[in-house]
Copies of this chain bind each other. A is one copy, B any other.
Amino acid sequence: MKVLSKSSEYGLRALLYMVGKRGGEQEYVSIREMSEQLDISFHFLTKILQSLTQSNILASYRGPSGGVAFNIPPEKIMLSDVVRVLEGEDFFDTCLLGLPGCGEKKPCPMHQFWKEIKAALKHEFETTTLAQMGQITLDSRLRLMP
């Protein structure tokens, strides 16, 4: 079950890495460093983070000791903000059977069932911050939602 594209997987992993590095003084985190530490293609990661920069979640700086930094504190960045940029606006609004006309008016046989799952997923993504997720890395026994 692959829910996120590689772009989102890599993007989220990089953002969580950045959350982990905060507290240190370095404002900008090098994309090269992240690509090496996380074993992600440098050029591919660059492109992914570029789109997060263009949507103002990150800020970037070129030249020596440049890199990317949060443009918004990660306490205020929801997982949904990230996936909406990397996967598209309609991420939480798909039909399980891929039927274009499916919706409340014309539900497919999976609709009610899938709707509930999607709502739970959406709720989690919309109420969980990058900072919270990053925290789990440090304290991996934390449980998030009811």
* A residues at B contact (CB < 8 Å): 1-4, 6, 9, 12-13, 16, 87, 91-92, 94, 96-101, 106-113, 116-118, 120-121, 124, 128, 133-134, 136-137, 140, 142-146
Contact = CB atoms under 8 A, between A and B. Distances in A.
B107 A140 contact: yes
A54 to B, nearest CB: 22
A113 B124 contact: yes
Q: 6 closest pairs, A vs B, by CB?
A: A101-B146, A9-B98, A109-B136, A109-B133, A109-B137, A1-B94
A144 B113 contact: yes
Most B-side CB within 10 Å, residue of A87, A92, A113, A133: A113
B144 A99 contact: yes
Give this chain's copy count.
2
A99 B144 CA distance: 8
A146 to B, nearest CB: 3
The interface centre, meaning the residue of A87, A92, A116, A118 with most chain B CB atoms within 10 A of its CB, is A116
B145 A99 contact: yes
A106 B100 CA distance: 39
Given A1-B3, A140-B107, A145 B124 contact: no
